[in-house]
Chain A
Amino acid sequence: MSDLFPEAWKSLPGPEDITRVELSNGITILTRSNFDSPSVVVTGYLDAGTTLDPDDKLGLAHFTAAALMRGTQKRPFQEIYNELESAGASLGFGASVHNTGFGGRCLVEDLPLLFSLFSEALRTPSFPEDQVERLRDQILTSLSIQAQDTWDMASLVFDQILFAGHPYARPDDGTPETIRAIQVDDLRSFQKRHFGPQGMVIVVVGGVSASEVIDRVQQAVGDWENPDQIMPPAYPPVQALGEPVRRHVPLAGKSQTDLLMGSLAPRRNSPEYLAASVGNHILGQFGMMGRIGEVVREQAGLAYHAGTSLNAMLAAGSWEISAGVNPVNLERAIDLIRKEVDRFVREPVTAQELQDTQDNYIGRLPLSLESNGGVANSLLNLERFQLGLDYYRRLPQMIREITTAHVLEAAKSYLHPENLLVVSSGPELA
């Protein structure tokens, strides 16, 4: 327990107030009551994501998830949404690389309705042809908007190069060609083969008791079985870039160029993750976006946004440094960032920087969980990355134990200034 904010830390989820139950069909439930709230948040995931998309049908998991609410064997589209929206409730599905996720919220009194729609959409979607075609047009339009977005394009190409040969390299939403190739039967078959209770996690947080949550989940999906459920394959290892790569995606008619630089990062469960995360905070988040913000924004005045992020996933991660700059300042920004990365892997961070960031980590967590949604996401992460129900109680100590040497070691393992990936998108390079 942190000696800094003992009262605050008592408010964090821990083993005493999280209920975790595994149903006999493989579903895991995590729930935490908040009787100050008249509403409930439901979130979770299935063990089926875009890694299961065939190469010629990229976007299939995403398309399937989006189509679940377009009609069920019991109700047509308008009836589903009439029930949902009349109650002021929401429910949606979406796919990410590892999972098909879901999220909903409602007033406590409408929880039975939410679970009943949830169960129908998940287990008995009907994929009506007209709705699927309408959805296809919507996905194609969003891809077309994305193709005009400098940030989206830089990000897409960054992943393609950084994770070449790995499922993480592929676009979650597919491409216009692959979206056009997907048939209604593909959606049906994806749902049938990959949706099932094995590996499914449901988190419920709000003004409802744990026993009621367990009963509701039991009623909704407790009898769900799918003996044919095909689980995702193991993920191949990722390879760090052996050479520097520079790529520009030209987009006409833009005022700003989005820049993305970086390398691989540790996976979420790696022993190096926390040290890398603390280091990343110093590099591009603390205060006004860390060292990168200080140099690129505060000193040089080159960008409104300039900072870093560490995206740690199950199999690997990416360490990203980004900035939005005027095209004429692009090379200068790249140069400034490169120098900072160089310094970051050569010299340890200062004791003061480490101390500041440790204090921030330890202080901010209780503040980030003031809503049901915030608590629900934190429970989801505990389960997704198998961190343990007491993770938040142990975290302050783990953060305090990180040294400047740990940070330097993590930086050196992943950030290689000589082999950085540099991707930009904006007007044609001069």
Chain B
Amino acid sequence: MPNPVTKVRFSNGLQIHLKEIHTAPLVSHWVWYRVGSRNEKPGKTGISHWVEHMQFKGTAQFPNGDLDKAISREGGSWNAMTYLDWTTYYEKLPTDRIDLALRLEADRMINSLYDPAEVESERTVIISEREGKENEPIFRLDEAIQIAAFDSHPYRYEVIGDMQDLWKIARADLYEHYRTYYTPNNTLIALAGDFNTEKILARLTELYGDIPAGPEINGQIEIEPPLRAERRVEVSGPGDTTYLRLAYRAPAARDPDFFAFTVLDSLLSGPSGLMMSGGGLSNKTSRLYRALVERELSVSISGGLQATIDPFLYVITAIVHPRSTSEAVLAAIDAEIQRLQNHLVDAAEIARAIKQARALFAYGSENISNQAFWLGFAEMFGDYAWFENYMQSLEQVTPQDVMRIAQTYLQSSRRVAGTYLPTGEAGEQE
């Protein structure tokens, strides 16, 4: 019997999701803000992620340096993540210490300082974070693909932001972004673990009840029509490994097509765990592995679909075999996609994908932090029912659905094909 979820909305708009789980003496606490790179404008890319960093720089009540020490001292762990549609802050603490996390999150929702000196010091930290990513060929390829995949939608920007913007964004920009989006009506608090729902609700009421709602945020962003012709990008750099990455416009998570697409992805590139689900599975019996890796066209293959508010990208990535070419890999992927477009898959294949999804779902659910994560995450692009009905939605997928998805979304005209071409320069210069 699954543990029930208590859902409450305060008069200031703050949403609360609570799930008592008493199997371990800990509480996992997540605060979700509906803001991410999706809410950014050209010239200010990376600002949501930078705001996330600044939220660790102190308030009057919890000065910089005290926050992290306070959590660590209690044996807790904490961190934050910024993504396309959301920013989330999380703490995991022993049962009897959770009040600290509740107090500090309520405090930094409104009282973060944004000290100008801290803004400057964090600018170079974030630039360093970006430079670390730039060291990776796949990041450089991904950045080029994303910007080619959308003409105007903010999903074209990397969450870390453009280097030029990171040099320009000022304290006032950050503070305004913070004040605009860090309001009770733009927030969901999720807790799972060893607590008493009534007591936690009473405490959250004390802490958040008097914070006034902020202005309503217009969360609508114009959806771009699908691409009409294939776009190709090339990035070159040192080394001798070629990467091929294809990015197709995918359905939004709320679109019923998302579930059929999930099954298609499982057949094509292997089963993917839902985000944070505690590990995935191998994909050696997937169609693309057999067509590419077993034929020694690529040394690896992976695919991935992400749950987002607006249509984002379905991405297939291959590391090209040293004795093959990106063209040969592309042709083999296209042949497999055509097979899905022209022939119905066997119902047994779908049943197998469902069993795999069920196993991954079970692995993910044994972890209290994951359960708390889903209490909030699902609401960032849909609602919690999306998560509760996830398995059921997958079970309804038919072979005809899979064929239709392949025909609709996996047309080559709807994709960006990106290649990382190694210059062949010796990596290590002696």
Interface of A toward B, CB cutoff 8 Å: 5, 7-8, 10-11, 34, 36-39, 77-78, 81-82, 84-90, 92, 105-107, 134, 137-138, 140-141, 144-145, 147-150, 153, 249-256, 286-288, 294, 297-305, 324-326, 356, 359-367, 369-373, 428
Q: If A148-B427, A367-B92 touch, does A287 touch B65 (CB 8 Å cutoff)?
A: yes
Kindly state whether residue B187 has any CB partner on chain A within 8 Å. no
- Contact partners of B220 in chain A: CB under 8 A: none
B94 to A301, Cβ gap below 8 A? Answer: no
B75 to A81, Cβ gap below 8 A? Answer: no
B124's nearest neighbour on chain A, judged by CB, is: A301
B25 to A304, Cβ gap below 8 A? Answer: no
B294's nearest neighbour on chain A, judged by CB, is: A134
Between A and B, 13 residue pairs with Cβ closer than 8 Å are A8-B94, A39-B366, A88-B356, A138-B300, A145-B241, A148-B238, A250-B428, A250-B429, A255-B132, A255-B134, A256-B132, A287-B71, A363-B74
A304 interface neighbour in B65, B129, B238, B322, Cβ under 8 Å: B129
Stretch at the interface among B244-252, B274-282, B374-382: B274-282
Q: A149-B135, A360-B74 are in contact. List 12 more A-B contacts (CB 8 A).
A: A88-B271, A144-B241, A147-B239, A148-B239, A148-B241, A287-B72, A299-B121, A300-B121, A367-B26, A367-B75, A373-B278, A373-B279
- Contact partners of A85 in chain B: CB under 8 A: 270-271, 281-285, 356
Cα separation A138 to B367 with both chains bound (whole Å) = 33
The binding surface of chain B is classed by DSSP as mixed
A107 interface neighbour in B75, B93, B126, B359, Cβ under 8 Å: B359
A90 to B75, Cβ gap below 8 A? Answer: no
Q: If A252-B429, A304-B132 touch, does A5 touch B125 (CB 8 Å cutoff)?
A: no
Cα separation A84 to B281 with both chains bound (whole Å) = 9
Kindly state whether residue B181 has any CB partner on chain A within 8 Å. no
Kindly state whether residue B231 has any CB partner on chain A within 8 Å. no
B125 interface neighbour in A141, A253, A255, A301, Cβ under 8 Å: A301
- Contact partners of A87 in chain B: CB under 8 A: 355, 359
Kindly state whether residue B414 has any CB partner on chain A within 8 Å. no
Cα separation A23 to B388 with both chains bound (whole Å) = 44
B293 interface neighbour in A134, A356, A372, A373, Cβ under 8 Å: A134
Q: Closest 7 A-B residue pairs measured CB to CB?
A: A363-B75, A88-B359, A304-B129, A287-B68, A255-B131, A301-B124, A301-B121
B75 to A364, Cβ gap below 8 A? Answer: yes
A108's nearest neighbour on chain B, judged by CB, is: B362
B24 to A370, Cβ gap below 8 A? Answer: yes
Cα separation A34 to B363 with both chains bound (whole Å) = 13
- Contact partners of A249 in chain B: CB under 8 A: 428
Kindly state whether residue B13 has any CB partner on chain A within 8 Å. no
In chain B, positions 117-148 with a C-beta closer than 8 Å to chain A are 120-132, 134-135, 137
Q: If A301-B121, A324-B128, A428-B429 touch, does A150 touch B75 (CB 8 Å cutoff)?
A: no
Kindly state whether residue B408 has any CB partner on chain A within 8 Å. no
Kindly state whether residue B296 has any CB partner on chain A within 8 Å. yes
- Contact partners of A147 in chain B: CB under 8 A: 239, 427-428
A364 to B77, Cβ gap below 8 A? Answer: yes
Kindly state whether residue B240 has any CB partner on chain A within 8 Å. yes
- Contact partners of B283 in chain A: CB under 8 A: 85
- Contact partners of B96 in chain A: CB under 8 A: 5, 7
Q: If A148-B238, A251-B238, A372-B366 touch, does A303 touch B128 (CB 8 Å cutoff)?
A: yes
B135 interface neighbour in A254, A297, A299, A362, Cβ under 8 Å: A254
B284 to A359, Cβ gap below 8 A? Answer: no
Interface of B toward A, CB cutoff 8 Å: 23-26, 56, 64-65, 68-69, 71-77, 92-97, 120-132, 134-135, 137, 237-241, 270-271, 278-285, 290, 293-294, 296, 299-300, 319, 321-323, 352, 355-360, 362-363, 366-369, 425, 427-429
Residue picked from B65, B92, B281, B369, most chain A C-beta under 10 Å:
B281
Q: If A148-B238, A253-B238 touch, does A362 touch B359 (CB 8 Å cutoff)?
A: no
- Contact partners of B428 in chain A: CB under 8 A: 147, 153, 249-251
Q: If A87-B355, A252-B425 touch, does A367 touch B279 (CB 8 Å cutoff)?
A: no
Cα separation A124 to B359 with both chains bound (whole Å) = 28
B425's nearest neighbour on chain A, judged by CB, is: A252
Cα separation A255 to B130 with both chains bound (whole Å) = 9
A5's nearest neighbour on chain B, judged by CB, is: B94
A144 to B239, Cβ gap below 8 A? Answer: yes
A134 to B296, Cβ gap below 8 A? Answer: yes
Residue picked from B122, B279, B362, most chain A C-beta under 10 Å:
B362
B69 interface neighbour in A7, A37, A256, A286, Cβ under 8 Å: A286
A138 interface neighbour in B128, B237, B299, Cβ under 8 Å: B299
B366 to A37, Cβ gap below 8 A? Answer: yes
Cα separation A430 to B353 with both chains bound (whole Å) = 54
- Contact partners of A254 in chain B: CB under 8 A: 134-135
A251 to B94, Cβ gap below 8 A? Answer: no
Q: If A138-B300, A370-B24 touch, does A88 touch B93 (CB 8 Å cutoff)?
A: no
Cα separation A301 to B125 with both chains bound (whole Å) = 5
B282 to A8, Cβ gap below 8 A? Answer: no
CB distance from A233 to the nearest CB of B (A): 32
B25 interface neighbour in A8, A134, A302, Cβ under 8 Å: A8
A253's nearest neighbour on chain B, judged by CB, is: B238
Q: If A138-B300, A362-B75, A367-B77 touch, does A105 touch B279 (CB 8 Å cutoff)?
A: yes
A70's nearest neighbour on chain B, judged by CB, is: B284
B94 to A366, Cβ gap below 8 A? Answer: yes
A371 to B128, Cβ gap below 8 A? Answer: no
Cα separation A144 to B285 with both chains bound (whole Å) = 26
B131 interface neighbour in A92, A326, A366, Cβ under 8 Å: A326
Cα separation A363 to B120 with both chains bound (whole Å) = 34
B278 to A371, Cβ gap below 8 A? Answer: yes
B283's nearest neighbour on chain A, judged by CB, is: A85
B69 to A287, Cβ gap below 8 A? Answer: yes
